[in-house]
Amino acid sequence: MTSTATASLATDLGAYRTSLRAYLNNGDALDRWRGKHHGSTEDRIAEHAALMAHLYQDGWNRYGWPAEAGGHGGDERHRGVLYDELSAAGLPVPDPQLMLETLGPAVVRFAPDLAARYLPEYLRGANWWGQGFSEPEAGSDLAGLRCRARREGEHYVLSGQKLWTSHGATASRFVCLVRTGTPESRHRGLSMIMVDAAAPGVSVRPIALASGYRELAEVFFDDVVVPADRLVGEEGQGWAVAMYLLQWERAMYAWQSAAVALRRFRELLGQVAGKPLPDGAATRIGECYGDIVALRARSVRTVRRLAAGETVGPEASVDKVLLATAETSLHDLARDLLGTDFVLGAGADTGDWRADWWFSRSATILGGSAEVQRTILADHVLGLPKEPRA
């Protein structure tokens, strides 16, 4: 592709969609990733990284990212189109894209040198990052984090533990929220820093979920030395960086998940076509489709606001609530339509639905519980009066 054509697709979203669709449906070069089942999280992420490398080689997943970070320009809508078109073509949205959407924009904004150094290799699937926020004693209360980084000359020395780290078992680097101030400083004493998973003193303990898949991990830091230029933002600016990235975690993850849910919804209907279905199946199918479409209808507005450079505030919790609703709705529908086969079936398709159903149970917890999201909406969006103290 010529540089003129590349520049044109970065400014013409419709042309990008048309060209990408033609690429994804041209020949059998991408069939390796269609309808593929994986025996472990590690195998799945490795295969998805290979898909990222393929897309990067031909330039398609570089749109939506700045040229300074290895991209071709464009904005969040280009990434949204990529996820839509991958799903429409029967291809997976690569798992590492999840953390890229969550962490990438914040690194581009607050640490452009790190973005220039490491984002290109992320886009081509050579490395990816894990998010190190939650801790055993802090949970979702980020202001109570204890994992500590102390400054020693041109380095920081990290000590502590992170829990529920997404992609922790395979990530090459961790973007961690750590305490650089006193415990009493709460959110004002936090900083964000990028740590190599292979650095001396880092140990990773994968967490197997009920499905047996090791989607998360515990990460331990034992006097890990990290160069000071790995800070994302200034020292003490971690809370502001975390609030900034929350916009993308809410909006782009929701859009990405809706694209995947529509593909899985179509696959489910194909699996049960011609088979006897339980009473009320047609209504359940319609309700589930409505849940996914409602998520997209809400999410598209948030994605457009991000693309326009607007700041998305607490109202993004609506996207998170709708996402959890759609994910549980889809996987409960699969459980009920597949019936006994869902529980006892030995096929790879059924096994994937079982594993995904287990993971979907966390949809109302991960990234902020549904109760917390509704409280945010009540307090900061609707301005409802607080409940009287007992």
Distance between CA atoms of residues 276 and 326, nearest Å: 24
The HSE-up count of residue 279 (CA atoms within 13 Å, CB side) is: 0
Could you tell me if 268 and 334 are in contact, meaning their C-beta atoms sit under 8 angstroms apart? Answer: yes
Determine how β-strand 173-179 pairs with β-strand 129-132: parallel
Could you tell me if 236 and 178 are in contact, meaning their C-beta atoms sit under 8 angstroms apart? Answer: no
Distance between CA atoms of residues 18 and 255, nearest Å: 19
Distance between CA atoms of residues 358 and 369, nearest Å: 17
Could you tell me if 172 and 196 are in contact, meaning their C-beta atoms sit under 8 angstroms apart? Answer: yes
Determine how β-strand 173-179 pairs with β-strand 202-207: unpaired
249 part of the active site: yes
In 3D, which of 152, 200, 158 has the Cα closest to residue 175? 158
Could you tell me if 262 and 292 are in contact, meaning their C-beta atoms sit under 8 angstroms apart? Answer: yes
Determine how β-strand 202-207 pairs with β-strand 190-196: unpaired
Distance between CA atoms of residues 379 and 314, nearest Å: 9
Two structure tokens written together for 74: 């464009």
Burial of 335 from C-beta contacts in 10 A (0-12 / 13-18 / 19+): middle
Q: Please tell me which residue in 76, 135, 218, 249 is annotated as part of the active site.
A: 249
Which three-class secondary structure state does DSSP give residue 231?
strand
Residues carrying an active site annotation = 249
